[in-house]
Amino acid sequence: MNACRPIFFLLLLACAQASAQGDDLDRLLQERGLTDAPPGQTMRATPDHSAAGAPADRMSELVVAAMGAIGVPYRMGGNSYDSGFDCSGFVRAVYGQSLGLTLPRQAAQQAAATHVIERNQLRPGDLVFFNTLRRAYSHVGIYVGDHKFIHSPRPGAAVRIEDMRVNYWNRRFDGARRVTGDVPLRAPLQVAADPALLLQNY
């Protein structure tokens, strides 16, 4: 039971931030009986359409699905809950399972295929990118709210939640992205065909 508390509280934190930014994590938790609506506050009748044209409650489910993978081991090239994930395989699997979307396979391709947003515009379900291999967009995770993201970090580790404000991640932050309906879900062919182009920002 104690092991579940950190995840539950992170869901509540994500709910609070999402509410301030127009997301509906609070609505999802209320519908599942995990929180009460604040007195005098009514839930929005009009859903907030965000990533890939999906209503915000589906983005909330995406975050919950991502948290369901906590503890799944890292595996280079992995993209399944059974055998493990690398960072981009994790993002691809969560988006595929939750929204039925097929994102590109590599982190840099995912960055190229999604919509650029500012760090202060992040909402749960958005993608966050980092330079961890001395090249741009070499690592990716899913933002869950309250400056935290979930990812599959490295060999020997497992899917976990980290704080973007920690010095290691803050210094390596490369940018934020949102999957929207007007952005292609596959990276341009030249990016996939020529790996050298992945280094074009350096």
| Catalytic residue set | 87, 139, 151
How far apart are the C-alpha atoms of 75 and 156, rounded to whole Å?
8
How far apart are the C-alpha atoms of 69 and 80, rounded to whole Å?
10
Task: Point out which residues pair with 176 in neighbouring strands.
Answer: 117, 128
Among 35, 34, 14, CA closest to 161: 14
Cβ burial 94-106 (10 Å sphere, 16+ → b, else e): bbebbbebebbbb
* Residue 98, H or E segment: helix 87-99
